[in-house]
């Protein structure tokens, strides 16, 4: 076999090898494309839904089942949830024209006057209660800065978790929600600016503390009844702020 023939055979063999490699690569790519098209595409809405849990990994205290928008709750009757049996109507003035209405079973809770509000201690065993009060807002800092530091004295340096604006229980009233735990006791608060009632420096505070799920559920039965009533409202229909 002469040298020219050898070169021809070598070139032909090399071309065959290249053809086989290209064919295998094309076949692999076709198979991969076929597998991709068989899987449902993830829409933008699906991606948003998968990360739209406002609690997510920042919910170590198990609040998932307690938060919902007022329209999602099936037990709302009128401005707030139906009050517990034997509950007493409480009225907390927010301004000359507005008041926070809620209902408390005074057989289960006491009442203590604070400087500018009330504290309703749970009368059974353990530490638990509900506070309704005012606090000052630094005009330049706003409600976010207030929420960041509000529970500092209650938590003794433990972590504060801010969840953003939430319904107070399942009521129509909303506020910036902050929570934390200290020595087995949970402290939570909702902070609502009163700027829409003419006060740029005051916020409504609804704060709770409890040690057990049973205490928590009883306190939430009060929170669920809250609504804001104004003088222009019908007495049976509060402001669904």
**Of 140 and 121, the one with more pLDDT:** 121
Q: In this structure, are strands 98-105 and 129-136 parallel, antiparallel, or unpaired?
A: unpaired
Half-sphere exposure of 25 (CA within 13 A, CB side): 6
* Residues contacting 149, CB < 8 A, separation 6+: 160
CA gap 112, 9 in Å, rounded: 103
Query: pLDDT-derived band of residue 120, with 50, 70 and 90 as boundaries?
Result: very high
Stretch 137-161: mean pLDDT: 86
Rama region for 142: left / alpha / beta (φ>0; ψ in -120 to 50; rest):
left
Place of tokens 């090898």: 17
Contact at 8 Å (CB) between 224 and 208? no
pTM over 0.75: no
| pLDDT at position 167 over 50 | yes
Q: How confident is the model at residue 188 (pLDDT cuts 50, 70, 90)?
A: very high
The position carrying tokens 């006491």 is 110
Task: Sketch out the chain's domains with CATH numbers.
Answer: 65-230 (3.40.1000)
Within 10 A of 233 (CB to CB), how many other CB atoms are there? 17
Q: Which of 78, 80, 81, 99 is nearest to 90 (CA)?
A: 99
- For residue 228, list its beta bridge partners: 100, 239
Contact 143, 191 (CB under 8 A): yes
Average pLDDT over residues 16-38: 58
The pLDDT assigned to 237 comes to 46
160: helix, coil or strand? coil
């Amino acid at each position: 076999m002469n040298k020219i023939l050898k070169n021809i055979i070598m070139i032909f063999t090399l071309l065959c090898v290249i053809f086989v490699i290209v064919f295998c690569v094309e076949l692999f790519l076709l198979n991969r494309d076929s597998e991709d098209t068989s899987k449902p595409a993830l829409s933008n809405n699906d991606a948003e839904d998968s990360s739209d849990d406002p609690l997510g990994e920042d919910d170590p205290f198990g609040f998932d089942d307690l938060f919902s928008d007022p329209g999602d709750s099936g037990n709302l009757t009128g401005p707030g949830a139906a009050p517990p049996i034997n509950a007493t109507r409480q009225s907390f003035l927010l301004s000359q024209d507005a008041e926070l209405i809620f209902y408390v079973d005074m057989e289960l809770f006491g009442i203590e006057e604070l400087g500018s509000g009330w504290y309703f201690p749970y009368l059974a065993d353990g530490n638990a209660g509900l506070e309704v009060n005012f606090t000052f807002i630094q005009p330049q800092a706003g409600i976010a800065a207030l929420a960041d530091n509000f529970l500092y004295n209650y938590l003794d340096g433990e972590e504060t978790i801010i969840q953003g604006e939430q319904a107070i229980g399942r009521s129509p009233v909303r506020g910036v929600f902050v929570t934390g735990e200290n020595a087995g006791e949970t402290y939570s608060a909702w902070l609502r600016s009163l700027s829409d009632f003419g006060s740029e420096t005051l916020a409504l505070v609804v704060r709770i503390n409890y040690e057990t799920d049973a205490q928590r559920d009883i306190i939430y039965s009060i929170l669920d009844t809250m609504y804001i009533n104004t003088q222009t409202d019908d007495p049976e229909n509060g402001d669904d702020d």
